[in-house]
A and B are shown apart, each in its own frame.
Chain A
Amino acid sequence: MTKKSTTVNRRSFIKSVGIAGGGLLIGFNWLACKRSEEVIVADTALEMPDEWFELNGYLKIGDNGVVTIYSPNPEIGQNVKTSMPMMVAEELDVDWNNVIVEQAPLNTDLYSRQLAGGSQSIRQGWEPLRRAGATARYMLLQAAAKQMEVPVEELSVEDGVISHSGSDKTISYGEIAKAAAAIEIPEEDKVVLKSKNDFKIIGSSRKNVDAKKIVTGQPLFGLDTYKDGMLTAMIVHPPKFGMEFKSMDAEKIKDMPGIKDVFTIDTYPEGLQKQWSDVSAFSKLVVVLGESTWQVMQAKKALKVEWDLNPELTKKIEILEKSAGMGEVSGLESSAIHTSLMADIGSKKAETVRKDGDPEAAFKNAARIIERSYTCPFLAHNCMEPMNFFANVTEDKAELLGPIQTPEYAEKTIQERLGLDLENIDIQMTRMGGGFGRRLYGNFLVEAAVISQKAGAPVKLVYSREDDMTDGVYRPAYHVTYRAALDANNKITAFHVNAGGIKESPLFANRFPAGAIDNYLAESWTLDSNISIGAFRAPRSNFIAGAEQSFLDELAEETGQDPIQFRLDLLKKAKEKPVGENNDYDADRFAGVLEMVRDKSGWKKEDQNLNRGVSAYYCHNSYVAQILDLRVQNNEPMIDKVVCAVDCGIVVNPDAAKNMVEGGTIDGIGHALYSKISFEDGMPQQSNYDTYRLIRHKEAPKSIEVYFAENGIDPTGLGEPPFPPVIGALANALYKATGKRFYDQPYIAGLQDELKT
């Protein structure tokens, strides 16, 4: 490590950087900036400069021309730590090989939306990040013009070197950085962004900036935090949802080697003002504190804790009987009960969310009605790096370090919970060993802080895999029933979707095929529960896409049509004569990915004897269509190939984007085929990978092809969109291979039942 000094442009600020449709504000206000001017830089392959000059909150330039770009958003494996700085570097006009990327600290005065979620980092960063690069470039050029005594219009830049057209004068960014840092930050209208045709970095593949550290095992993750005097803390939460702490025999384990203390904490005491990200089914926890992880694990095992029914969480049983469309499961819950309740409620009328035309009449007059129901279980996120956080809370300060997707909200909760001022709370983000939505909910961060405060020591909280898997915040269990009315000519006259779940409905009432069918009804319901839920990669879509795309497949078959042409015809109608007002998809782009996947896969060539399924879906502003080929061997599906067509607008980092699509595809297939969390008497029946099945090497598709639409539209995200549709393609291919439709996830259960009989 070397210490280097940094000069900061103190007078500079950029106001009001707007983004299309968002009105996002970025304030660069250095007086409010918390970052210290002395910056510690890790030794890297690049020679470090003697002095750094910060041109704005996103970048600094060294006197030798090396550029550091701060990546504002949390990195959970979606590779924004590479692609976001690429957007800055593009407009700055620097050589990417001269760029160092650092994770920016939480600073909401400097950066907007420091959150990883909803596949929005790239979409919402597109304008502000490029603007940050372009603004710095503007200042560098102004300073160079002054020094060279030439008009700025006569200057051009290539790879961080400014040249004058009328002479052979050149000056490098490193040489002019000091002067540039003293230039007033320009008004927004003075800074012109590049035309897309001039992009050199955006659109060409750049390797993951952390890859070398990853493959050499350097400390990058929250769990890799070890600090002087740090203790390890683990929690014990109730074994069943609906239970709470009663008593324990702490004395017995206090003498065990390395054990420092055993106590309880209340993460979210009653009356605490919570953020949306504060979710936990178990607020009161037992904490075991010790010197090393193994010692704490052993003590935890030896600890005897008594649990009681939580009367508040288990009392509401009768409400069920009376409710129509809204219900509540209670007591200690079981999956068998969930399933039958959902089927029951799903067969009743629920809240109407959208209605076009006269669906009731159309169903009444139908020659034929096709009705199918689909379900999925709860899922655990199972980030490979279990939940953890480092906290060092003293009387007047909290230092927090670890993996969190929502640092901004966590900071507010910590302020409330510990009674500290915001400026005395420092949250630093580590690289995350997966997020998938789980780390949006920062209960583990708050727990770490409360434990550190109580223990009066720096603490790293570590969840065991079992703690992690049985702690809740699950992907909800969902249920949907689709009905289609057909006339005597097999034409669809009405479409009805009735969707709900525990304790969230998966319905998107304005998504396809809404807008393509004259008589349409969408209904929604929820069933309450004491099991906690949360967003999981492509929330709601991660179920409803597969269900809807399976139903459309069945409709195409029932009406004797090619499944791709069937969807294209509906999209044509949605484009030419859209029904209703709020259809939230672009029918052209939607059709575009379907046509692309059809062409690239050689769909329906007669000589092919393949079990193929197709699916297409729109979510998180991107469009994905997939075609999947499989065989069934020894009761297990073997997936030979998946072809993916993706429209996410401009692809910032193509090879990394391809990696995301491959990963989302494999992840979607794996969860729909194999994974579930089920309950008996409130107890999760899976707690580690011996009982919870995740997709493995052997089960992954043998080949995945990825194609991107080239349309120059501003980019949208990819973390989630490839996940939901492939589930439909899988179900439809399974049907081809077995002759049996698959309605209930995980599909492997139905597949093996089928093969047994």
Chain B
Amino acid sequence: MAKFNLNINGEDKTVDVDPNTPLLWVLRDHLNLVGTKYGCGIAQCGACTVHFNGSAVRSCQLPVSSLEGSKIKTIEGLSENGDHHVQQAWLEIDVPQCGYCQAGQIMSASALLDSNPNPSDEEIENAMNGNICRCGTYSRIKAAIKAASKSQIA
């Protein structure tokens, strides 16, 4: 066990855990931030996606020891009141079915739009390909990303 200082959603936090503990489990088990989901633990499903210095990464692969000095953003920190334009687009298109994968989808989508505000269909598919949705909401996710892109550019 060792102490680690983290910056999560703009707040400084200290946790005392095994250095190999993935950020995913630090968030869920130690910081009461359960919006980031466990789906596979091997970087294959995207349910655990967070922003690491602004890029979408799989938190199940990030050992806590590698995070000092970086800025982490989780779904809980994407916006204060759930009104980030990607979240808004998700509500407008009514994307979720079971909803379990959606936090990860939203984190991937918002990172994509941050770096590429007007992505093509192909760019959307490439950026989102690591996020599985067993319920099959892919068409709506794409529609929501396009809607968010429009509102962002406008």
- Spell out A's residues near B (CB within 8 Å): 76-79, 205, 207-208, 210-212, 214-221, 223-224, 226, 232, 257, 292-295, 297-298, 382-386, 431-436, 464-465, 655-656, 659-660, 662-667, 670, 688-690, 694-698, 700-704
Cβ-defined contact, B136 with A700, below 8 A: yes
The answer, yes or no, to whether B56 is at the interface (CB within 8 Å) is: no
Q: Which 10 A-B pairs have the closest CB atoms?
A: A217-B35, A433-B100, A77-B98, A666-B136, A217-B75, A689-B44, A214-B99, A77-B97, A700-B138, A663-B136
Q: A434-B135, A465-B39, A663-B137 are in contact. Are A210 and B97 (CB under 8 A)?
A: no
Q: Which of A77, A220, A431, A703 has the most CB of B within 10 A?
A: A77
Q: Which residue of B lies closest to A692 (CB)?
A: B44
Q: A689-B45, A689-B132, A690-B42 are in contact. Are A433 and B99 (CB under 8 A)?
A: yes
Q: Which residue of A lies closest to B83 (CB)?
A: A216
Chain B at the A interface: mostly helix, strand, loop or mixed? Answer: loop
Cβ-defined contact, A432 with B90, below 8 A: no
Q: Can you name 13 A-B residue pairings with CB atoms under 8 Å?
A: A79-B97, A210-B99, A215-B102, A217-B76, A293-B29, A293-B38, A294-B22, A294-B25, A384-B45, A465-B40, A659-B140, A662-B139, A696-B130
Cβ-defined contact, A667 with B135, below 8 A: yes
Cβ-defined contact, A694 with B40, below 8 A: no
Cβ-defined contact, A688 with B44, below 8 A: yes
Q: Bound complex: CA of A232 vs CA of B96, how far in Å?
A: 28
Residues on B with beta carbons closer than 8 Å to the beta carbon of A217: 33-36, 74-76, 103
Q: Which residue of B lies closest to A690 (CB)?
A: B44
Q: Bound complex: CA of A294 vs CA of B17, how far in Å?
A: 10
The answer, yes or no, to whether B13 is at the interface (CB within 8 Å) is: no
The answer, yes or no, to whether B125 is at the interface (CB within 8 Å) is: yes
The answer, yes or no, to whether B142 is at the interface (CB within 8 Å) is: yes
Q: Bound complex: CA of A586 vs CA of B39, how far in Å?
A: 41
Q: A663-B135, A689-B132, A697-B128 are in contact. Are A215 and B34 (CB under 8 A)?
A: no
Cβ-defined contact, B124 with A384, below 8 A: no
The answer, yes or no, to whether B149 is at the interface (CB within 8 Å) is: no
* B: contact size bracket: 35 or more
| Known pairs A666-B136, A690-B42 / 20 extra A-B pairs, C-beta < 8 Å | A77-B99, A205-B94, A214-B96, A214-B99, A217-B103, A219-B35, A224-B34, A292-B30, A294-B21, A384-B100, A385-B39, A386-B38, A434-B98, A662-B136, A689-B45, A694-B134, A695-B136, A696-B129, A697-B124, A697-B138
Cβ-defined contact, A655 with B124, below 8 A: no
Q: A79-B97, A292-B29, A384-B39 are in contact. Are A667 and B91 (CB under 8 A)?
A: no
Residues on A with beta carbons closer than 8 Å to the beta carbon of B37: 221, 223, 384-385, 433
Q: Bound complex: CA of A254 vs CA of B89, how far in Å?
A: 49
Q: A292-B25, A464-B41, A698-B129 are in contact. Are A433 and B98 (CB under 8 A)?
A: yes
Residues on B with beta carbons closer than 8 Å to the beta carbon of A700: 136, 138-139
Cβ-defined contact, B139 with A384, below 8 A: no
Cβ-defined contact, A689 with B100, below 8 A: no
Q: Bound complex: CA of A667 vs CA of B135, how far in Å?
A: 7
Q: A77-B98, A217-B103 are in contact. Are A688 and B42 (CB under 8 A)?
A: yes
Q: Bound complex: CA of A686 vs CA of B83, how far in Å?
A: 40
The answer, yes or no, to whether B1 is at the interface (CB within 8 Å) is: yes
Cβ-defined contact, A434 with B100, below 8 A: yes
Q: A215-B82, A219-B34, A432-B98 are in contact. Are A384 and B134 (CB under 8 A)?
A: yes
Q: A215-B87, A697-B124, A704-B139 are in contact. Are A431 and B99 (CB under 8 A)?
A: yes
CB distance from A118 to the nearest CB of B (A): 18
Cβ-defined contact, B135 with A216, below 8 A: no
Q: Which residue of B lies closest to A206 (CB)?
A: B94
